[in-house]
Every structure is written in C-alpha cells, then in structure tokens.
Structure 1
Amino acid sequence: MKEITDNTPIAKIGIVTVSDRASAGVYEDMSGKAIIDTLYEYLTSQWRACYEVIPDEQATIEKTLIDLVDKQHCCLVITTGGTGPAKRDVTPEATEAVCDRMMPGFGELMRAESLKYVPTAILSRQTAGLRKGSLILNLPGKPKSIRECLDAVFPAIPYCIDLMEGPFLECNEEVIKPFRPKQK
C-alpha cells in the first residue's frame, strides 16, 4: 500500500455480506473477507473497508447501502449474497431501490464469466447501479465465485469511479490491470 504523504483522501469501500446465518453468528463470514482480501491484492492506493454483515432483509439492505454511500461516503460498495432465486434473496431488489441508475453490463459480464465454471450461473441475479457518486456492485456468495467475478469486472471499476469524480484507485497491475482510456 502507498504511504500517504500529502492530502490524498483515503478511498472508502463498503463491503456488505448479506446472510441470515452469518449475521446471526451461525457461521463465520468468509465471503466478505474474500472481497477484502481480493481488494488488498488489487489496490495499491490507500483505502479503508467499511464492513457490514447483515440479514437477508430488504429494508436492512437498503438502509445499509444508503448509509455506506450517503453518510460514510464510500465510492464503491460491494455486496455478497442474496442474488439467487430463493425467496429471501433480495439484494438486487434492494440495490435497484436505492440506485439512481442501473449498470446492467456488470451483471451480464459476471454471469458470462461464471457460466465458464457452472451451468447454474444463469440463476444468479447479480447487478450494479449508481447512487450519487458511488458504484454499488452485487456479487454472488461463494468466495471462489467472488474472485472470478471481481477478476472479470474490476478492470472497469476504477475508470467508472473516475467518471463519477471519485478517488483515483491505483492498482497492482501485476494482479489486475484497470482500463483507463489514454489521454490525448
């Protein structure tokens, strides 16, 4: 990680695990930790995780997303869990309810990537959207799938945040190479 020597702001990234059982302490949250570990591999710029483990309740998910964007000023919020077809899987609905605009390309790419590994990827309802100056991204719940999906979509995320006038996210290009158009 880069040492801060000027007034460079520390990027805040929200990590939200949506799981009834993990939030009740039935089992340890491995998914949220997988996201954090992956981001530490990807990012060389300073950042701080705003980490939450919450139940599969749409109102709670919405409140958490709003808090992370509006009050904690996260430039990126990544959720894990609640994207399947089960009755309690309501993360995409909560995301759509709080976003100003949706970014369907993220979900399309994640499903296409996951289909390389499992035919049930078509059951996943991952999505992404924008709230104010933040990107909210819904990932699946399994750590292996999280990494596969992040590897696929993360190259576009730093530039998306640039376009929303968020903090400049620098990456370890030996691990993940972000795409930013060349300046003329």
Structure 2
Amino acid sequence: MSHGLQRNRAGVVIASTRAAAGLAEDMTGPVIADWLREHGFEPDEPLVVPDGAAVGAALRALLQVGCAVVLTSGGTGLTPDDLTPEETLPLLDRPLPGVMEAIRAAGLAKTPFAALSRGHAGLAGDCLLVNLPGSPKGVMDGLAVLDPLVTHICAQAQGEHHDH
C-alpha cells in the first residue's frame, strides 16, 4: 500500500540498460509524461534505469512516495534481462489482466510481435501500475487503451464511486 497517496502524482519508469548507460536516447518517457499531464497528472521526471532489479527498486520508490499512477516502458520482451514483469508482479495486490489483454490486442492489430509482451497491469495498493512495451508505437497503443480507463480506475482505487 502506498503511503500518503497524492491523487495527481504519477511516475514513469523506463527499463533500458542502453538508455541508462547513455548509449541510446529514451524515446518513450517524454511521450508517457506528456500523456499523463494531458490526463491531469503531475509526473515526476521519468526514471531511466537498467533492466532488471533496478526497475523493481524504482517502482518501490515511486509507490512509497504515493503516486496515483506509475507507468513503465520496456523490459517486457524475451531477452534475458527483460525482467520488468518479474519486478512488477510481486508489487500488485489486484491484477487487471483485462487491461493487458486490451493493450496486447491493440498492438496485435498492427504487429504480431505484440503477442510477445509479457507486461502486467494492476493496483499496487491504490496506485495503478501498468507495464507498457518499450517501443514508441507500442507505448502509443497502450496509452490509447488507457485513455478512457485511467480516470475511472484511479477514482475506484481511491474509493470513489461513479457511473460509467
């Protein structure tokens, strides 16, 4: 459970060993941060971390400070260091498998490789946590799925009831 939830605070974690080492530019963090702002959230600067355990550490830090939404990008594929799903799953109290099914379905309409994404979505306490793919197009597909859902999910997670 997060401590002192801040309704509009959001976090972004980019899982990229190459970008964390300065060998590649993070192309997805700014896109995700802009999308969060458009939806009324105040994202912290995206955290660009190496694949693996650093992702889990970044997620735990963001949950500790009380983010309402945390979105990740990258580390959901099949390479040996793609461990974002393994770092995310233990943090989820209430999985939202339908959200990930919808994100994969949106990607599958454009590329068969979307089926290889192993990301998770769910509530970690009262924070919405979603793993998005590492590609800019995959991120855009995922954000399009979250577009009509994010406000409703956050309201329900925070105990608010409203009509859909």
- TM-score of the superposition, structure 1-length normalised? 0.79
CA contact (8 A) 2:14 2:73 kept: yes
Decide which structure has the larger Cα Rg and report it: 1
2:49 matched to 1:54?
Answer: yes
SS at 1:17's partner residue? strand
CA contact (8 A) 1:109 1:153 kept: no
Listed as ranges, the matches of 1:27-176 within 5 Å are: 27-40=24-37, 42-43=38-39, 45=40, 47-57=42-52, 59-70=53-64, 72-165=65-158
Cα distance change on mapping 1:46 and 1:157 into 2, 3 Å? closer
Q: How many angstroms apart in 2 are the aligned matches of 1:50 and 1:134?
A: 18
1:48-81 Cα offsets, whole Å, 9 max, x none, are 3342000012x221121111011x2110000000
SS at 2:13's partner residue? strand
- Structure 2 equivalent of residue 5 of structure 1: none
Q: CA deviation at 1:39?
A: 2.6
The one-letter amino acid paired with 1:20 is T
The root-mean-square deviation of aligned C-alpha atoms, in Å, is 1.9
Cα distance change on mapping 1:10 and 1:47 into 2, 3 Å? farther
In structure 1, stretches of 5+ residues that fail to align are: 1-8, 169-179
Q: How many angstroms apart in 2 are the aligned matches of 1:142 and 1:163?
A: 30
Q: CA deviation at 1:11?
A: 1.1
2:21 matched to 1:24?
Answer: yes
- TM-score of the superposition, structure 2-length normalised? 0.88
Listed as ranges, the matches of 1:10-21 within 5 Å are: 11-21=8-18
How much identity, in percent, do the aligned residues show? 37
Q: How many angstroms apart in 2 are the aligned matches of 1:75 and 1:157?
A: 10
Structure 1 stretches (4+) deviating beyond 3 angstroms?
none
Cα distance change on mapping 1:127 and 1:152 into 2, 3 Å? same
